[in-house]
Structures are given as structure tokens and as C-alpha cells.
Amino acid sequence: MSFTGTEDHSISLEDASDLTANYRSNHSIFAIKGFYFSKEAIQDILDQTDCVGIRIYFGEDGSSNPKLVISGVKTNEDDLYNGLLAEYGIPCPTNCGGSNPLNS
């Protein structure tokens, strides 16, 4: 399979809410629900030569805290691992914003 950069990843709010609710019900109320990444960080990755999308890897630090690592991806499905990478997402909680169907 080749990537085009135009793949459809849409999901309804109802389905997205169900997925996040399932996750929350299987984890502690103190568990990280998500991470914030700035538009600039994502755009810088997407603006790399040959980048048609992003891949998000699950990771954890030395204290077993969840992390996400974001890389650009080329049409041949290869990561742009020698390019810009993103981590240091801002976790929710504590930076969750107001209650909504995805976080509450």
C-alpha cells in the first residue's frame, strides 16, 4: 500500500466519544487522557520534503509515564525519522480545558 496524504480518517463525535469513554473506564481517573501538540509543531513536521502525513507512536519514559512520539511519513510508508520529530506533548490532565464528550 502507498500513502497519498488524502486518506480519510474522519470519525463521528459519537464514535470518538465511545472510544475515549472506553479508555477512561479501563484506566484510573488520574490516567493521562491525551496530549496537546501545537499547530506549529505538527505543521513543521508536515512541511518536510516528501511528507504526506504523520505517524504517532506510543512510548513511555523511564518512570513508565505514557508519551507520544510523532514523525512525518512518506508515500512509501517510511517514517521521516531523520527529520523533525515531536514529543513533549502537554498532558491532560492537568491541561484538559473544559469538559466535553472526549474528555469527560
Q: Over the stretch 83-97, which tens digit does the pLDDT of each residue have?
A: 999 999 999 998 999
Contact 28, 84 (CB under 8 A): no
Instruction: Give the span between the Cα atoms of 60 and 54, in whole angstroms.
Output: 19
- Encode pLDDT of 51-85 as tens digits: 999 999 999 999 988 999 999 999 999 999 999 99
User: What per-residue confidence (pLDDT) applies to 1?
Assistant: 80
Beta strands in the chain (DSSP E): 34-36, 53-60, 66-73, 85-86, 90-92
pTM: 0.87
Q: Determine the number of helices (DSSP H) and then strands (DSSP E) in the chain.
A: 2, 5
Q: What is the CA radius of gyration of the chain?
A: 15
